Amino acid sequence: MSEPRVLVLYYSMYGHVETLAKAVVEGVAEAGGAPTIGRVPELMPAEMLEKSGAKTELAGDVIEPEALAGFDALVVGTPTRFGNMCAQMRNFFDRCGPLWQKGALEGKPGSVFTSSNTQHGGQETTIISTQITLLHLGMVVVGLPYGYQGMMSVDEVAGCSPYGASTIAGPDGKRRPSPLELQGARFQGRRVTKIAGRLSG
């Protein structure tokens, strides 16, 4: 096949997931894929976003569910919210019924990454529970294997697990994704792209 078309679809309020999404995009391009970065629609009122100090400029256009059919792979980025995906991402998936009915995503790779404030605040449950939705859509779930050697490091506090890339924003949200975490996100982008190429080839 020619370049696998990979959609990196995310929601981000304070930019951590956005930064990881950009690193996934880099990984897709490094592996010879054609990346698109996109956001799910916002559900919070503008005044509430402003009060919460949400980021106003975010990378990529807002994507609607029907667009998913035009991609060979999907990489989903969501903040951890009570150990689960955020409502904006849940709502997007809840609008994917017609795609599910047509089997439009069956056999395509799907992968997940996340950000949380705390180190053990539910990153793994967020990624795994999001993977359940991808499985219902018929996707081939792709994680982040130990081929990404950075995952073995215990020299510093770091996200990333065999389930997917992640970052830890810290209790005040001020910590930014570290070089190690960004490496993990790029690795995940490369892996999804390579698998998309093999599955469609």
In this complex, which beta carbon is closest to ligand FMN, that of residue 20 or of residue 137?
Answer: 20
How many Cβ atoms from other residues are within 10 Å of residue 108's Cβ? 25
Site string for ligand FMN, 162-181 (x = CB under 6 A): -------x---x--------
In this complex, which beta carbon is closest to ligand FMN, that of residue 52 or of residue 153?
Answer: 52
In this complex, which beta carbon is closest to ligand FMN, that of residue 98 or of residue 171?
Answer: 171
Asked whether position 16 contacts ligand FMN by CB under 6 A, the answer is yes
Total residues contacting ligand FMN by CB under 6 A comes to: 20
Return the residue of 32, 41, 62, 82 that touches ligand FMN, per CB under 6 A.
82
Return the residue of 27, 35, 65, 79 that touches ligand FMN, per CB under 6 A.
79
Site string for ligand FMN, 35-74 (x = CB under 6 A): ----------------------------------------
Residue 112 and residue 75 in contact, taking contact as beta carbons nearer than 8 Å: yes
**Length of the chain, in residues:** 201
Return the residue of 6, 7, 9, 17 that touches ligand FMN, per CB under 6 A.
17
DSSP of the chain, one letter per residue? --S-EEEEEE--SSSHHHHHHHHHHHHHHHTT-EEEEEEPPP-S-HHHHHHTT--S--SSEE--GGGGGG-SEEEEEEE-BTTB--HHHHHHHHT-HHHHHHTTTTT-EEEEEEEESSTTSSHHHHHHHHHHHHHHTT-EEE---TTSGGGG--SS----BTTB-EEE--TTS-PPPPHHHHHHHHHHHHHHHHHHHHHH-
Sites for ligand FMN among residues 96-155 (CB under 6 A): 115-118, 121-122
In this complex, which beta carbon is closest to ligand FMN, that of residue 150 or of residue 177?
Answer: 177
Q: Which residues bind ligand FMN (CB under 6 A)?
A: 12-18, 79-83, 115-118, 121-122, 169, 173
